[in-house]
A and B are shown apart, each in its own frame.
Chain A
Amino acid sequence: MRSIAAHRLHLGLVASLLLTNAHASDVPSPFSLSGFGTVGAVRTDKDNRMFRSSTEQVSGAGTDFDSSVDSVLGVQASLILSNALDLTVQSVVRKGVADSYSPQLTWGFLRFQAMPEIVVRAGRMRTPFFMYSDSLNLNYATPWVRPPVEVYSLNPFADLNGVDALYRAPIGATDLELHVYGGQSSLDIRNGGGKLQAVRGVKAALSISSLTLQAGYARSNLSIHWGDPMFTSLNNHLIASGNDAIARDLSGDDSKGTFLSAGFQYDSDRLLMIGEYARRTVDRYTVSAAGWYFTAGYRFNSLTPYMTVARQTQTAPVTTKQSGIAPIDSLLSLFNAMRNKSQDSMAIGARWDVTRNVAIKTQLERIHPGPGGLGIFVNDNFRDVVDPGGPVHVFSISADFVF
Protein backbone atom coordinates (compact mmCIF):
# COMPACT_ATOMS: atom_id res chain seq x y z
CA MET A 1 0.00 0.00 0.00
CA ARG A 2 2.73 2.32 1.07
CA SER A 3 4.81 1.51 -1.97
CA ILE A 4 1.87 2.15 -4.29
CA ALA A 5 1.35 5.54 -2.71
CA ALA A 6 5.03 6.30 -3.12
CA HIS A 7 4.81 5.14 -6.68
CA ARG A 8 1.83 7.41 -7.33
CA LEU A 9 3.62 10.31 -5.75
CA HIS A 10 6.61 9.62 -7.98
CA LEU A 11 4.41 9.48 -11.08
CA GLY A 12 2.72 12.66 -10.02
CA LEU A 13 6.08 14.38 -9.65
CA VAL A 14 7.22 13.22 -13.07
CA ALA A 15 3.92 14.32 -14.60
CA SER A 16 4.10 17.73 -12.99
CA LEU A 17 7.71 18.10 -14.10
CA LEU A 18 6.69 17.19 -17.64
CA LEU A 19 3.81 19.66 -17.47
CA THR A 20 6.12 22.38 -16.18
CA ASN A 21 8.44 21.60 -19.02
CA ALA A 22 5.66 21.69 -21.60
CA HIS A 23 4.50 24.97 -20.18
CA ALA A 24 8.03 26.41 -20.36
CA SER A 25 7.78 27.07 -24.10
CA ASP A 26 4.96 29.53 -23.45
CA VAL A 27 7.19 31.75 -21.36
CA PRO A 28 10.89 32.54 -21.77
CA SER A 29 13.13 30.03 -19.98
CA PRO A 30 14.97 31.32 -16.89
CA PHE A 31 18.08 29.48 -18.05
CA SER A 32 20.44 30.67 -20.76
CA LEU A 33 23.64 29.30 -22.20
CA SER A 34 26.06 31.27 -24.35
CA GLY A 35 29.71 31.34 -25.25
CA PHE A 36 32.57 32.94 -27.10
CA GLY A 37 35.92 32.01 -28.48
CA THR A 38 38.89 32.67 -30.69
CA VAL A 39 40.79 30.42 -33.04
CA GLY A 40 44.07 32.17 -33.74
CA ALA A 41 47.52 31.60 -35.18
CA VAL A 42 50.65 33.69 -34.60
CA ARG A 43 54.21 33.64 -35.90
CA THR A 44 57.24 35.89 -35.55
CA ASP A 45 60.38 36.39 -37.64
CA LYS A 46 62.80 35.32 -34.88
CA ASP A 47 63.02 31.89 -33.26
CA ASN A 48 64.87 33.24 -30.24
CA ARG A 49 62.03 35.66 -29.44
CA MET A 50 58.92 33.65 -28.60
CA PHE A 51 55.79 35.78 -28.58
CA ARG A 52 53.22 35.34 -25.78
CA SER A 53 49.82 36.95 -25.22
CA SER A 54 50.35 37.02 -21.45
CA THR A 55 53.27 36.78 -19.05
CA GLU A 56 51.73 33.64 -17.47
CA GLN A 57 52.39 31.61 -20.61
CA VAL A 58 55.78 29.90 -20.43
CA SER A 59 56.16 29.24 -24.16
CA GLY A 60 55.15 31.22 -27.21
CA ALA A 61 55.19 31.49 -30.99
CA GLY A 62 58.39 31.48 -33.04
CA THR A 63 58.81 31.33 -36.81
CA ASP A 64 56.22 28.56 -37.16
CA PHE A 65 52.53 29.38 -36.84
CA ASP A 66 51.40 28.67 -33.29
CA SER A 67 47.75 28.32 -32.36
CA SER A 68 48.20 28.14 -28.58
CA VAL A 69 48.92 31.82 -27.93
CA ASP A 70 45.50 33.35 -28.70
CA SER A 71 43.02 30.49 -28.99
CA VAL A 72 40.36 30.50 -26.30
CA LEU A 73 36.93 29.03 -25.60
CA GLY A 74 34.46 30.34 -23.03
CA VAL A 75 31.05 29.02 -21.99
CA GLN A 76 28.60 30.87 -19.77
CA ALA A 77 25.38 29.80 -18.12
CA SER A 78 22.89 32.05 -16.36
CA LEU A 79 19.87 31.22 -14.27
CA ILE A 80 17.24 33.75 -13.24
CA LEU A 81 16.21 32.90 -9.67
CA SER A 82 13.80 35.77 -9.11
CA ASN A 83 13.08 39.28 -10.36
CA ALA A 84 16.02 40.58 -8.37
CA LEU A 85 18.39 37.61 -8.20
CA ASP A 86 20.34 35.64 -10.78
CA LEU A 87 23.30 33.31 -10.97
CA THR A 88 26.04 33.31 -13.63
CA VAL A 89 28.88 30.86 -14.15
CA GLN A 90 31.55 31.18 -16.83
CA SER A 91 34.42 28.85 -17.60
CA VAL A 92 37.31 29.49 -19.97
CA VAL A 93 39.86 27.16 -21.51
CA ARG A 94 43.07 28.69 -22.86
CA LYS A 95 46.81 28.36 -22.40
CA GLY A 96 47.50 30.09 -19.11
CA VAL A 97 49.71 29.81 -16.07
CA ALA A 98 52.67 27.50 -16.79
CA ASP A 99 51.09 26.57 -20.17
CA SER A 100 48.28 24.67 -18.46
CA TYR A 101 44.99 24.23 -20.32
CA SER A 102 42.89 23.31 -17.30
CA PRO A 103 39.47 25.02 -17.44
CA GLN A 104 39.33 28.15 -15.29
CA LEU A 105 36.31 29.42 -13.40
CA THR A 106 36.40 33.00 -14.71
CA TRP A 107 33.05 34.17 -13.35
CA GLY A 108 30.76 32.55 -10.77
CA PHE A 109 28.58 35.01 -8.94
CA LEU A 110 25.16 35.81 -7.56
CA ARG A 111 23.79 39.11 -8.81
CA PHE A 112 21.30 41.02 -6.75
CA GLN A 113 19.38 44.00 -8.09
CA ALA A 114 19.30 45.91 -4.81
CA MET A 115 17.63 48.99 -6.31
CA PRO A 116 16.76 49.95 -9.88
CA GLU A 117 20.16 51.70 -10.18
CA ILE A 118 22.26 49.38 -7.99
CA VAL A 119 23.48 45.87 -8.67
CA VAL A 120 25.47 43.94 -6.06
CA ARG A 121 27.45 40.83 -7.02
CA ALA A 122 29.28 38.32 -4.86
CA GLY A 123 31.54 35.43 -5.81
CA ARG A 124 34.23 34.94 -8.44
CA MET A 125 34.68 37.92 -10.73
CA ARG A 126 37.48 39.50 -12.77
CA THR A 127 39.83 42.16 -11.44
CA PRO A 128 38.51 45.29 -13.19
CA PHE A 129 41.72 47.34 -12.77
CA PHE A 130 41.98 48.52 -16.38
CA MET A 131 39.48 49.39 -19.13
CA TYR A 132 39.16 45.90 -20.70
CA SER A 133 40.38 43.84 -17.71
CA ASP A 134 37.01 42.19 -17.15
CA SER A 135 36.73 40.96 -20.75
CA LEU A 136 40.29 40.01 -21.67
CA ASN A 137 39.25 36.70 -23.25
CA LEU A 138 36.44 38.23 -25.29
CA ASN A 139 38.26 39.29 -28.44
CA TYR A 140 35.01 39.48 -30.42
CA ALA A 141 34.10 42.70 -28.59
CA THR A 142 37.23 44.62 -29.64
CA PRO A 143 38.85 45.59 -32.95
CA TRP A 144 42.18 43.93 -32.06
CA VAL A 145 43.39 40.35 -32.31
CA ARG A 146 44.15 40.72 -28.57
CA PRO A 147 44.15 43.59 -26.05
CA PRO A 148 47.50 45.46 -26.17
CA VAL A 149 49.97 43.56 -23.94
CA GLU A 150 51.83 46.79 -23.09
CA VAL A 151 48.95 47.68 -20.77
CA TYR A 152 47.31 44.34 -20.00
CA SER A 153 50.47 42.50 -18.90
CA LEU A 154 50.71 45.04 -16.05
CA ASN A 155 48.25 42.92 -14.08
CA PRO A 156 48.63 39.13 -14.16
CA PHE A 157 46.03 38.71 -11.38
CA ALA A 158 42.85 38.01 -13.36
CA ASP A 159 40.47 36.60 -10.73
CA LEU A 160 38.77 38.55 -8.00
CA ASN A 161 37.02 36.65 -5.21
CA GLY A 162 34.83 39.11 -3.40
CA VAL A 163 31.97 41.53 -3.77
CA ASP A 164 31.25 44.50 -5.97
CA ALA A 165 28.52 47.03 -6.56
CA LEU A 166 27.60 48.76 -9.79
CA TYR A 167 25.70 52.00 -9.67
CA ARG A 168 24.26 53.21 -12.92
CA ALA A 169 22.60 56.58 -13.32
CA PRO A 170 21.75 58.88 -16.18
CA ILE A 171 22.82 62.49 -15.67
CA GLY A 172 21.03 64.30 -18.46
CA ALA A 173 22.30 62.86 -21.72
CA THR A 174 25.30 61.19 -20.07
CA ASP A 175 25.31 57.77 -18.52
CA LEU A 176 27.39 57.27 -15.38
CA GLU A 177 28.59 53.92 -14.09
CA LEU A 178 30.33 53.72 -10.72
CA HIS A 179 31.92 50.42 -9.81
CA VAL A 180 33.32 49.67 -6.35
CA TYR A 181 34.83 46.31 -5.48
CA GLY A 182 36.77 44.45 -2.86
CA GLY A 183 38.25 41.00 -2.40
CA GLN A 184 41.25 38.83 -2.89
CA SER A 185 43.13 37.30 -5.81
CA SER A 186 45.58 34.42 -6.18
CA LEU A 187 47.97 33.46 -8.94
CA ASP A 188 49.98 30.28 -9.38
CA ILE A 189 53.52 30.68 -10.60
CA ARG A 190 56.02 27.90 -11.11
CA ASN A 191 56.89 26.42 -7.67
CA GLY A 192 55.49 29.53 -6.05
CA GLY A 193 52.56 31.89 -5.98
CA GLY A 194 51.29 35.42 -5.80
CA LYS A 195 48.48 36.94 -3.80
CA LEU A 196 46.59 40.21 -3.73
CA GLN A 197 44.84 40.67 -0.41
CA ALA A 198 42.49 43.37 0.82
CA VAL A 199 41.92 44.55 -2.74
CA ARG A 200 39.72 47.64 -2.81
CA GLY A 201 39.07 49.64 -5.90
CA VAL A 202 36.81 52.06 -7.67
CA LYS A 203 36.12 52.66 -11.32
CA ALA A 204 34.01 55.32 -13.01
CA ALA A 205 32.77 55.43 -16.58
CA LEU A 206 30.93 58.28 -18.28
CA SER A 207 29.23 57.69 -21.62
CA ILE A 208 28.16 60.61 -23.76
CA SER A 209 26.67 59.32 -27.04
CA SER A 210 29.65 57.78 -28.90
CA LEU A 211 32.27 58.67 -26.30
CA THR A 212 33.09 56.75 -23.12
CA LEU A 213 35.58 58.06 -20.58
CA GLN A 214 36.85 55.74 -17.90
CA ALA A 215 39.15 55.94 -14.87
CA GLY A 216 40.02 53.44 -12.16
CA TYR A 217 42.13 53.13 -9.05
CA ALA A 218 42.79 50.13 -6.81
CA ARG A 219 45.02 49.31 -3.84
CA SER A 220 45.94 45.99 -2.33
CA ASN A 221 48.46 44.07 -0.24
CA LEU A 222 50.81 42.01 -2.37
CA SER A 223 52.65 38.74 -1.68
CA ILE A 224 54.92 37.03 -4.17
CA HIS A 225 56.92 33.86 -3.62
CA TRP A 226 59.10 33.08 -6.62
CA GLY A 227 60.08 29.47 -7.01
CA ASP A 228 62.25 29.20 -10.12
CA PRO A 229 65.80 27.76 -9.81
CA MET A 230 67.38 31.11 -10.67
CA PHE A 231 65.56 32.86 -7.82
CA THR A 232 66.32 30.03 -5.39
CA SER A 233 70.01 30.21 -6.18
CA LEU A 234 70.12 34.01 -5.87
CA ASN A 235 68.14 33.95 -2.63
CA ASN A 236 70.48 31.34 -1.11
CA HIS A 237 73.52 33.42 -2.05
CA LEU A 238 71.98 36.59 -0.60
CA ILE A 239 71.17 34.95 2.72
CA ALA A 240 74.54 33.13 2.94
CA SER A 241 76.34 36.45 2.37
CA GLY A 242 74.31 38.25 5.03
CA ASN A 243 72.27 40.28 2.53
CA ASP A 244 68.87 39.44 4.04
CA ALA A 245 67.68 43.00 3.41
CA ILE A 246 68.02 42.48 -0.35
CA ALA A 247 66.36 39.04 -0.14
CA ARG A 248 63.39 40.70 1.58
CA ASP A 249 62.97 42.93 -1.50
CA LEU A 250 62.65 39.99 -3.88
CA SER A 251 60.02 37.81 -2.29
CA GLY A 252 57.64 37.84 0.67
CA ASP A 253 54.28 38.96 2.04
CA ASP A 254 54.83 42.61 2.81
CA SER A 255 54.29 44.77 -0.25
CA LYS A 256 51.55 47.16 -1.30
CA GLY A 257 50.38 47.55 -4.86
CA THR A 258 48.34 50.18 -6.65
CA PHE A 259 46.74 49.95 -10.08
CA LEU A 260 45.65 53.08 -11.90
CA SER A 261 44.08 53.50 -15.31
CA ALA A 262 42.49 56.20 -17.44
CA GLY A 263 41.09 55.64 -20.89
CA PHE A 264 38.54 56.50 -23.53
CA GLN A 265 36.63 54.87 -26.35
CA TYR A 266 35.11 56.76 -29.23
CA ASP A 267 32.89 54.59 -31.40
CA SER A 268 30.77 56.37 -33.99
CA ASP A 269 29.27 54.97 -37.22
CA ARG A 270 32.62 55.08 -38.95
CA LEU A 271 35.44 56.33 -36.78
CA LEU A 272 36.78 54.28 -33.91
CA MET A 273 39.39 55.50 -31.40
CA ILE A 274 40.58 53.86 -28.19
CA GLY A 275 43.29 55.06 -25.83
CA GLU A 276 44.40 54.07 -22.36
CA TYR A 277 47.13 54.80 -19.86
CA ALA A 278 47.72 52.39 -16.98
CA ARG A 279 50.19 52.14 -14.16
CA ARG A 280 51.23 49.53 -11.60
CA THR A 281 53.20 50.67 -8.56
CA VAL A 282 54.59 48.21 -6.00
CA ASP A 283 56.97 48.54 -3.06
CA ARG A 284 58.92 45.37 -3.80
CA TYR A 285 58.88 41.78 -5.24
CA THR A 286 58.30 42.90 -8.84
CA VAL A 287 58.79 45.95 -11.02
CA SER A 288 56.70 49.12 -11.15
CA ALA A 289 55.72 50.05 -14.68
CA ALA A 290 53.43 52.18 -16.82
CA GLY A 291 51.88 51.42 -20.19
CA TRP A 292 49.70 53.08 -22.79
CA TYR A 293 48.22 52.47 -26.22
CA PHE A 294 46.31 54.39 -28.82
CA THR A 295 44.21 52.80 -31.57
CA ALA A 296 42.42 54.45 -34.49
CA GLY A 297 40.22 52.59 -36.94
CA TYR A 298 37.74 53.34 -39.67
CA ARG A 299 34.71 51.24 -40.65
CA PHE A 300 34.11 50.58 -44.32
CA ASN A 301 30.89 48.57 -43.95
CA SER A 302 32.03 45.24 -42.52
CA LEU A 303 35.76 45.96 -42.80
CA THR A 304 37.57 47.94 -40.10
CA PRO A 305 41.26 48.63 -40.72
CA TYR A 306 43.09 50.03 -37.70
CA MET A 307 46.50 51.01 -36.39
CA THR A 308 47.85 50.90 -32.84
CA VAL A 309 50.87 52.37 -31.11
CA ALA A 310 51.76 51.16 -27.62
CA ARG A 311 54.52 51.27 -25.03
CA GLN A 312 55.39 49.90 -21.63
CA THR A 313 58.07 51.58 -19.53
CA GLN A 314 59.57 50.38 -16.28
CA THR A 315 59.42 53.04 -13.57
CA ALA A 316 61.26 51.09 -10.85
CA PRO A 317 63.15 47.76 -10.82
CA VAL A 318 62.42 45.03 -8.27
CA THR A 319 65.29 46.30 -6.13
CA THR A 320 67.95 48.96 -6.50
CA LYS A 321 70.08 47.52 -3.67
CA GLN A 322 73.48 46.00 -4.36
CA SER A 323 75.45 43.45 -2.35
CA GLY A 324 78.93 44.62 -3.43
CA ILE A 325 79.73 41.03 -4.39
CA ALA A 326 80.15 40.95 -8.19
CA PRO A 327 78.67 37.50 -9.01
CA ILE A 328 75.65 38.14 -6.77
CA ASP A 329 75.06 41.60 -8.24
CA SER A 330 75.27 40.14 -11.72
CA LEU A 331 72.54 37.60 -10.79
CA LEU A 332 70.56 40.42 -9.21
CA SER A 333 70.60 42.52 -12.36
CA LEU A 334 69.52 39.44 -14.32
CA PHE A 335 66.66 38.91 -11.85
CA ASN A 336 65.58 42.54 -12.33
CA ALA A 337 65.81 42.31 -16.13
CA MET A 338 63.71 39.11 -16.27
CA ARG A 339 60.82 41.02 -14.71
CA ASN A 340 61.21 44.09 -16.92
CA LYS A 341 58.54 43.89 -19.67
CA SER A 342 59.40 47.23 -21.31
CA GLN A 343 58.69 47.36 -25.02
CA ASP A 344 57.16 49.57 -27.65
CA SER A 345 55.17 48.53 -30.67
CA MET A 346 53.37 49.66 -33.79
CA ALA A 347 50.66 47.57 -35.38
CA ILE A 348 48.39 47.63 -38.38
CA GLY A 349 45.45 45.31 -38.71
CA ALA A 350 41.90 44.80 -39.85
CA ARG A 351 38.69 43.34 -38.49
CA TRP A 352 36.22 41.84 -40.93
CA ASP A 353 32.72 41.12 -39.65
CA VAL A 354 31.96 38.08 -41.79
CA THR A 355 28.53 37.33 -40.38
CA ARG A 356 26.78 38.65 -37.31
CA ASN A 357 28.54 36.26 -34.90
CA VAL A 358 31.96 35.91 -36.49
CA ALA A 359 34.83 38.34 -37.00
CA ILE A 360 38.07 37.54 -38.79
CA LYS A 361 41.08 39.62 -37.85
CA THR A 362 44.64 39.98 -38.97
CA GLN A 363 47.40 42.07 -37.44
CA LEU A 364 51.05 42.81 -38.14
CA GLU A 365 53.15 44.24 -35.31
CA ARG A 366 56.67 45.55 -35.10
CA ILE A 367 57.73 45.21 -31.47
CA HIS A 368 60.93 46.62 -29.98
CA PRO A 369 61.65 44.71 -26.77
CA GLY A 370 63.45 46.59 -24.01
CA PRO A 371 65.29 48.60 -22.96
CA GLY A 372 66.54 46.41 -20.13
CA GLY A 373 64.39 43.35 -20.82
CA LEU A 374 62.78 41.11 -23.44
CA GLY A 375 59.29 42.62 -23.20
CA ILE A 376 56.55 40.04 -23.68
CA PHE A 377 58.97 37.65 -25.41
CA VAL A 378 60.68 34.62 -23.89
CA ASN A 379 63.82 32.81 -24.90
CA ASP A 380 65.45 29.58 -23.70
CA ASN A 381 68.69 31.43 -23.14
CA PHE A 382 67.49 33.68 -20.34
CA ARG A 383 70.73 35.71 -20.41
CA ASP A 384 69.30 37.31 -23.59
CA VAL A 385 67.15 39.50 -21.32
CA VAL A 386 70.03 41.93 -20.88
CA ASP A 387 70.52 42.12 -24.66
CA PRO A 388 67.04 42.34 -26.26
CA GLY A 389 68.37 43.31 -29.72
CA GLY A 390 66.35 44.74 -32.62
CA PRO A 391 62.65 44.68 -33.47
CA VAL A 392 60.57 41.51 -33.82
CA HIS A 393 57.74 41.27 -36.33
CA VAL A 394 54.64 39.42 -35.19
CA PHE A 395 51.94 38.31 -37.62
CA SER A 396 48.56 37.15 -36.28
CA ILE A 397 45.38 35.89 -37.85
CA SER A 398 42.28 34.90 -35.90
CA ALA A 399 38.58 34.20 -36.02
CA ASP A 400 36.45 35.34 -33.07
CA PHE A 401 32.93 34.10 -32.48
CA VAL A 402 30.08 34.40 -30.01
CA PHE A 403 27.10 32.10 -29.64
Chain B
Amino acid sequence: MRPLRVLLLLVALLASSPIRAEILIVTSSRSGPIELTRDQAEKLYLGRSSTFSDGTPASLVDLPNGQVRDEFYLKLTGKNPAQIQAYWSRLVFTGRALPPKEARSLAEARQWLTDTPNLIGYLDRNEPTTGMRILLRLP
Protein backbone atom coordinates (compact mmCIF):
# COMPACT_ATOMS: atom_id res chain seq x y z
CA MET B 1 0.00 0.00 0.00
CA ARG B 2 2.65 2.49 1.07
CA PRO B 3 4.98 2.06 -1.98
CA LEU B 4 1.96 2.36 -4.25
CA ARG B 5 0.92 5.63 -2.60
CA VAL B 6 4.45 6.99 -2.96
CA LEU B 7 4.46 5.96 -6.60
CA LEU B 8 1.07 7.59 -7.20
CA LEU B 9 2.25 10.75 -5.50
CA LEU B 10 5.35 10.80 -7.71
CA VAL B 11 3.30 10.30 -10.85
CA ALA B 12 0.93 13.06 -9.76
CA LEU B 13 3.88 15.38 -9.07
CA LEU B 14 5.49 14.66 -12.43
CA ALA B 15 2.22 15.05 -14.28
CA SER B 16 1.47 18.39 -12.66
CA SER B 17 5.02 19.67 -12.97
CA PRO B 18 5.00 22.48 -15.55
CA ILE B 19 8.67 21.77 -16.36
CA ARG B 20 7.58 19.07 -18.78
CA ALA B 21 4.33 20.58 -19.90
CA GLU B 22 3.74 21.94 -23.34
CA ILE B 23 3.09 25.68 -23.48
CA LEU B 24 0.45 27.23 -25.71
CA ILE B 25 0.60 30.65 -27.32
CA VAL B 26 -2.96 31.93 -27.53
CA THR B 27 -5.04 34.90 -28.57
CA SER B 28 -8.67 35.89 -28.11
CA SER B 29 -11.12 34.29 -30.52
CA ARG B 30 -12.15 37.93 -31.19
CA SER B 31 -8.75 38.59 -32.79
CA GLY B 32 -8.44 39.04 -36.51
CA PRO B 33 -7.03 36.29 -38.72
CA ILE B 34 -3.66 36.29 -36.93
CA GLU B 35 -1.07 33.69 -37.80
CA LEU B 36 2.09 33.19 -35.83
CA THR B 37 5.22 31.21 -36.55
CA ARG B 38 7.66 30.25 -33.83
CA ASP B 39 10.18 32.68 -35.29
CA GLN B 40 7.69 35.57 -35.17
CA ALA B 41 6.70 34.69 -31.62
CA GLU B 42 10.37 34.79 -30.61
CA LYS B 43 10.85 38.18 -32.31
CA LEU B 44 7.78 39.60 -30.53
CA TYR B 45 8.80 38.34 -27.09
CA LEU B 46 12.37 39.60 -27.63
CA GLY B 47 11.06 43.06 -28.59
CA ARG B 48 12.57 42.77 -32.07
CA SER B 49 9.22 43.17 -33.73
CA SER B 50 5.97 44.77 -32.62
CA THR B 51 3.57 43.67 -35.34
CA PHE B 52 2.14 40.46 -36.76
CA SER B 53 3.24 39.40 -40.25
CA ASP B 54 0.32 41.32 -41.83
CA GLY B 55 1.35 44.54 -40.08
CA THR B 56 -1.31 44.47 -37.32
CA PRO B 57 0.17 45.89 -34.10
CA ALA B 58 0.63 43.13 -31.53
CA SER B 59 0.27 43.47 -27.75
CA LEU B 60 1.86 40.93 -25.45
CA VAL B 61 0.90 39.54 -22.06
CA ASP B 62 3.26 38.13 -19.46
CA LEU B 63 2.14 35.82 -16.69
CA PRO B 64 3.20 36.76 -13.15
CA ASN B 65 6.70 35.60 -12.22
CA GLY B 66 6.76 31.84 -11.87
CA GLN B 67 7.56 28.51 -13.46
CA VAL B 68 5.30 28.76 -16.51
CA ARG B 69 6.77 32.15 -17.43
CA ASP B 70 10.36 30.95 -16.96
CA GLU B 71 9.67 27.79 -18.95
CA PHE B 72 8.04 29.81 -21.74
CA TYR B 73 11.03 32.14 -22.21
CA LEU B 74 13.52 29.30 -21.96
CA LYS B 75 11.65 27.31 -24.62
CA LEU B 76 11.06 30.24 -26.96
CA THR B 77 14.24 32.31 -26.58
CA GLY B 78 16.76 30.05 -24.84
CA LYS B 79 17.26 32.68 -22.12
CA ASN B 80 17.06 31.96 -18.38
CA PRO B 81 15.07 34.26 -16.02
CA ALA B 82 18.05 36.49 -15.14
CA GLN B 83 19.12 36.79 -18.79
CA ILE B 84 15.64 37.66 -20.00
CA GLN B 85 15.18 40.21 -17.18
CA ALA B 86 18.49 41.91 -18.08
CA TYR B 87 17.68 41.78 -21.79
CA TRP B 88 14.23 43.33 -21.41
CA SER B 89 15.30 45.95 -18.91
CA ARG B 90 17.81 47.25 -21.45
CA LEU B 91 15.11 47.45 -24.13
CA VAL B 92 12.63 49.17 -21.82
CA PHE B 93 14.96 51.66 -20.15
CA THR B 94 16.47 52.74 -23.49
CA GLY B 95 12.98 53.39 -24.87
CA ARG B 96 13.24 50.76 -27.61
CA ALA B 97 10.18 48.74 -26.70
CA LEU B 98 7.34 48.63 -24.23
CA PRO B 99 7.45 45.47 -22.14
CA PRO B 100 4.71 42.81 -22.30
CA LYS B 101 1.84 43.69 -19.96
CA GLU B 102 2.31 41.69 -16.79
CA ALA B 103 -0.94 40.28 -15.41
CA ARG B 104 -1.30 40.26 -11.64
CA SER B 105 -2.69 36.74 -11.71
CA LEU B 106 -3.33 33.88 -14.06
CA ALA B 107 -7.04 34.72 -13.86
CA GLU B 108 -6.38 38.28 -15.01
CA ALA B 109 -4.21 37.04 -17.89
CA ARG B 110 -7.00 34.64 -18.93
CA GLN B 111 -9.54 37.46 -18.79
CA TRP B 112 -7.40 39.75 -20.98
CA LEU B 113 -6.68 36.95 -23.43
CA THR B 114 -10.37 36.16 -23.76
CA ASP B 115 -11.60 39.75 -24.08
CA THR B 116 -8.95 41.75 -25.94
CA PRO B 117 -8.39 41.31 -29.68
CA ASN B 118 -4.85 41.15 -31.09
CA LEU B 119 -3.37 40.44 -27.68
CA ILE B 120 -1.24 37.33 -27.38
CA GLY B 121 -0.11 35.39 -24.35
CA TYR B 122 0.92 31.97 -23.19
CA LEU B 123 -0.61 29.33 -20.98
CA ASP B 124 0.24 25.94 -19.65
CA ARG B 125 -1.26 23.20 -21.87
CA ASN B 126 -3.52 22.10 -19.01
CA GLU B 127 -5.27 25.47 -18.80
CA PRO B 128 -8.71 25.70 -20.44
CA THR B 129 -8.68 27.87 -23.57
CA THR B 130 -12.38 28.69 -23.90
CA GLY B 131 -12.82 31.93 -25.84
CA MET B 132 -9.25 31.74 -27.12
CA ARG B 133 -7.52 30.46 -30.22
CA ILE B 134 -4.30 28.47 -30.05
CA LEU B 135 -1.69 30.03 -32.33
CA LEU B 136 1.32 27.91 -31.53
CA ARG B 137 2.41 25.01 -29.36
CA LEU B 138 5.83 24.97 -27.71
CA PRO B 139 6.54 21.33 -26.90
A interface residues, Cβ below 8 angstroms from B: 25-29, 32, 34, 36, 74, 76, 78, 80, 83-84, 86, 88, 90, 107, 109, 111, 113, 116, 119, 121, 125-126, 134-135, 138, 140-142, 166, 168, 170, 175, 267, 269, 302, 353, 356-357, 359, 402
Is B50 positioned at the interface, with any CB of A under 8 Å from its CB?
yes
B interface residues, Cβ below 8 angstroms from A: 43, 48-51, 55, 57, 59, 61, 65, 78, 81-83, 85-87, 89-90, 92-96, 98-99, 101, 103, 108, 111-112, 115-116, 119
Across the interface, which residues of A come within 8 angstroms of B87, CB to CB? Answer: 141
Cβ-neighbour of A36 out of B43, B89, B115 (below 8 A)? B89
Q: Beyond A83-B57, A116-B51, A175-B48, is A26–B115 a contact (Cβ under 8 Å)? A: yes
Across the interface, which residues of B come within 8 angstroms of A25, CB to CB? Answer: 108, 111
Cβ-neighbour of A28 out of B85, B89, B112 (below 8 A)? B112
Across the interface, which residues of B come within 8 angstroms of A302, CB to CB? Answer: 82
How long is the Cα–Cα vector from A29 to B116 in the complex, in angstroms? 12
Residue of B nearest to A116 (CB): B51
Across the interface, which residues of A come within 8 angstroms of B55, CB to CB? Answer: 116
Query: What is the CB-to-nearest-CB distance from B40 to chain A, in angstroms, rounded to a whole number?
Result: 10
How long is the Cα–Cα vector from A62 to B115 in the complex, in angstroms? 58
Check A125 against B95 for contact (C-beta < 8 Å).
Answer: yes
Across the interface, which residues of B come within 8 angstroms of A80, CB to CB? Answer: 98
Query: What is the CB-to-nearest-CB distance from B60 to chain A, in angstroms, rounded to a whole number?
Result: 9
Residue of B nearest to A108 (CB): B95
User: Which 3 residue pairs across A and B have the least CB separation, nearest first?
Assistant: A28-B101, A353-B82, A141-B90
How long is the Cα–Cα vector from A74 to B94 in the complex, in angstroms? 12
Check B93 against A121 for contact (C-beta < 8 Å).
Answer: no
How long is the Cα–Cα vector from A24 to B90 in the complex, in angstroms? 28
Residue of A nearest to B52 (CB): A116
Check A170 against B101 for contact (C-beta < 8 Å).
Answer: no
Chain B facing A: main interface SS: mixed
Across the interface, which residues of B come within 8 angstroms of A29, CB to CB? Answer: 101
Across the interface, which residues of B come within 8 angstroms of A109, CB to CB? Answer: 95
Cβ-neighbour of A402 out of B51, B61, B85 (below 8 A)? B85
Residue of B nearest to A134 (CB): B94
Check A356 against B95 for contact (C-beta < 8 Å).
Answer: no
How long is the Cα–Cα vector from A171 to B101 in the complex, in angstroms? 28
**Could you jot down 22 A-B contacts, CB within 8 Å?**
A25-B108, A26-B112, A27-B112, A28-B61, A28-B112, A32-B99, A86-B98, A113-B50, A116-B55, A121-B95, A125-B95, A134-B94, A135-B93, A138-B89, A138-B90, A166-B96, A170-B43, A170-B48, A356-B65, A356-B81, A356-B82, A357-B85
Check A78 against B98 for contact (C-beta < 8 Å).
Answer: yes
Check A135 against B94 for contact (C-beta < 8 Å).
Answer: yes
Residue of A nearest to B48 (CB): A175
Across the interface, which residues of B come within 8 angstroms of A34, CB to CB? Answer: 92-93, 99
How long is the Cα–Cα vector from A125 to B55 in the complex, in angstroms? 27
Residue of B nearest to A209 (CB): B78
Check B82 against A359 for contact (C-beta < 8 Å).
Answer: yes
Residue of A nearest to B98 (CB): A78
Residue of A nearest to B94 (CB): A134
Residue of A nearest to B47 (CB): A168
Across the interface, which residues of B come within 8 angstroms of A119, CB to CB? Answer: 96
Across the interface, which residues of A come within 8 angstroms of B94, CB to CB? Answer: 126, 134-135, 138
Cβ-neighbour of A107 out of B48, B95, B98 (below 8 A)? B95
Residue of A nearest to B116 (CB): A27
Across the interface, which residues of A come within 8 angstroms of B108, CB to CB? Answer: 25
How long is the Cα–Cα vector from A135 to B111 in the complex, in angstroms? 35
Query: What is the CB-to-nearest-CB distance from A123 to chain B, in angstroms, rounded to a whole number?
Result: 9
Check A168 against B82 for contact (C-beta < 8 Å).
Answer: no
Query: What is the CB-to-nearest-CB distance from B13 to chain A, in angstroms, rounded to a whole number?
Result: 23
Residue of A nearest to B118 (CB): A83
Check B57 against A84 for contact (C-beta < 8 Å).
Answer: yes
Across the interface, which residues of B come within 8 angstroms of A357, CB to CB? Answer: 85
Query: What is the CB-to-nearest-CB distance from B93 to chain A, in angstroms, rounded to a whole number?
Result: 5
How long is the Cα–Cα vector from A119 to B86 in the complex, in angstroms? 22
